[in-house]
Amino acid sequence: MDDYALVLNAGSSSLKFCVFQRPRGEGWRLAARGQIEGIGSSPQLSVKDPDGQCLTKQKLDATVRNGRDALDALAAWLRFKYGGSRVVGVGHRVVHGGSRFKGPTVITPQVLAELYELVPLAPLHQPYNLAAIEAASERLPGVPQVACFDTSFHRGQSAVAELIPLPRELRELGLQRYGFHGLSYEYIASVLPEVAPSIANERVIVAHLGSGASLCALKDRKSVDSTLGFTALDGLCMGTRPGALDPGVVLHLFQGLKFSAKEVETLLYKKSGLIGISGISNDMRDLLGRREPEARLAVDYFVYCAAKEIGALAAVLGGVDGIVFTAGIGENSPEIRERICEACAWLGVEIDDAANDSGGPKISTEGSKISVWVVPTNEELMIARHTGALLGLAKAAQERT
C-alpha cells in the first residue's frame, strides 16, 4: 500500500491538483497533475502523468456545482486510480495569510477561523481556498492539512516597501502591503541557481504574467518589493482587474456614481483590466488574435504597465541584472515578452529573436546588459515541498515535476 499526498489549488470555477506518491521504500514523486474545470457550468476532469501524457479526460455530471462537489469527483477518481493507498497530507494554496501567517501552517480550527477573517481582502480566491480546506478536512478526518500562502515569501521586506501611508491606528489593523504570487516567486528563486546561475544572487525582476499579473524585485533571491499590495488589485493590468488605480476613482464610484460596495468589488475584481478595456476578452491569447482597436489598446496598456513598473522596481533595486518571465503569458507569449523587452531597451535589454520564439530559457543576446529568461513556474511543487517539509515528508521536496 503506497502513501500519497495531495496538493490542491481551488479557484472559483476550477480545482487544480497534484498527486505525489511514495511507493514503499522510495522517495516522493509526482504521480499526476490535473484539474476540474467548468465547475458550475460544464465540469470536466482532466489528468496528466508527469510526462504530460493524458491519464483521463472526462465530462463530469452537471451536478458538480461547487468546490465540495468537485472534491467528491476528485476523490472518486483517486479511489479508482489509487484505491488501497493512503493519503498522508494535503497541501493547499491559500492566497492571503495576512500579517499573522508568515510561513506554511498546519490547519487547525483556530487557524481556519483567522483565515476566514481575510476573505474580504481576497474575495476572488480566499473563499474557494478555504472551502477546499474545510471539505478536505471533513472527508479526510485526521489527515493533516497545510496552508501555503501567496503572501509569505514577501515577508521580510523593508518597512518602507510594506508601508501604506495611512495613520498608525489603521496600519495597526493590518493595513500594509503584503504582495502576492509568492509561491510562484519562491519557486523561481529556488531554481535560479540551476537555470540562470549568472543572475541567481543578483538583482532580478520576475514578471509573473498570467490571469493575475505582478512583478517581484529579488535581491539574493529574497523579495525586496512587488507590485501587488494590500490586496491582489494593485500594480499591473490583469485579466479582469485594473491594477494600480487612483483611489479617487473609487471615491467617485461611491459618491458620484452611487455604486454599492458589492458593485465596486465586482467592477474591480471581475470587469476591469483586459476585459474592461477591450470589452472582448480577459484572455491574452484571444486578444492577441484580434484586430479590433479595443483589443489592441488592452494589449498596449498591459505592455505599458509592465514596462513602467519594471522601471520602478529597477529603481528600487538600484539597477537590474536579470529579468525572468513566467506564468501563462510570460511563458507562452513571445510577442508580449518582445514588446515588454523593447520598452526596456533603455535599461540595456536586447532580445535574441530566435531564442525568444523558441522559449529560451535565455532569450537575451550575449551583448545584452541585462540577461532575460523564461522560467516555467510551479506553484504546486512549491506547496508540495512545504507540505512535505512541514509534515516530515521531506523527500517530496526533491521530486521531479
Catalytic residue among 3, 61, 72, 150: 150
Residue nearest to ligand ADP (CB): 328
Judge residue 139's burial from the number of C-beta atoms within 10 Å of its C-beta, 0-12 exposed, 13-18 middle, 19 or more buried. Answer: middle
The gap between the terminal CA atoms of the chain, to the nearest Å, is: 23
Closer by beta carbon to ligand ADP, 139 or else 296: 296
Respond yes or no: is residue 150 known to be catalytic: yes
Closer by beta carbon to ligand ADP, 49 or else 357: 357
Q: Which H or E run includes 218?
A: strand 213-219
Query: What is the nearest approach in angstroms of ligand ADP to the Cβ of residue 295?
Result: 12
Query: What is the nearest approach in angstroms of ligand ADP to the Cβ of residue 224?
Result: 23
User: How far is residue 100's CA from residue 88's CA, in Å, rounded to a whole number?
Assistant: 26
Query: What is the nearest approach in angstroms of ligand ADP to the Cβ of residue 88?
Result: 27
User: How far is residue 94's CA from residue 146's CA, in Å, rounded to a whole number?
Assistant: 10
Residue the block writes with cell 518582445: 338
Report the interface residues with ligand ADP, using CB under 6 A. Answer: 210-212, 239, 283-285, 288, 327-329, 332-333
What is 326-354 written as a DSSP string?
EHHHHHH-HHHHHHHHHHTGGGT--B-HH
For 207, 240, 341, 356, 359, the CA distances from 372, given in Å and listed in that order, are 11, 27, 9, 9, 11
Query: What is the nearest approach in angstroms of ligand ADP to the Cβ of residue 303?
Result: 12
The amino acid at residue 275 is I
Query: What is the nearest approach in angstroms of ligand ADP to the Cβ of residue 348?
Result: 26
Residue the block writes with cell 532580478: 204
Query: What is the nearest approach in angstroms of ligand ADP to the Cβ of residue 363?
Result: 15
Please say whether the beta carbons of 80 and 49 come within 8 A: no
Q: In what order do the strands lie in the sheet with 105-106?
A: 54-59, 44-48, 29-37, 15-22, 3-10, 86-94, 145-149, 105-106
Which three three-digit cell numbers place residue 60? 463530469
User: How far is residue 316's CA from residue 362's CA, in Å, rounded to a whole number?
Assistant: 24
For 152, 154, 383, the CA distances from 18, given in Å and listed in that order, are 21, 25, 10
Residues involved in catalysis: 150
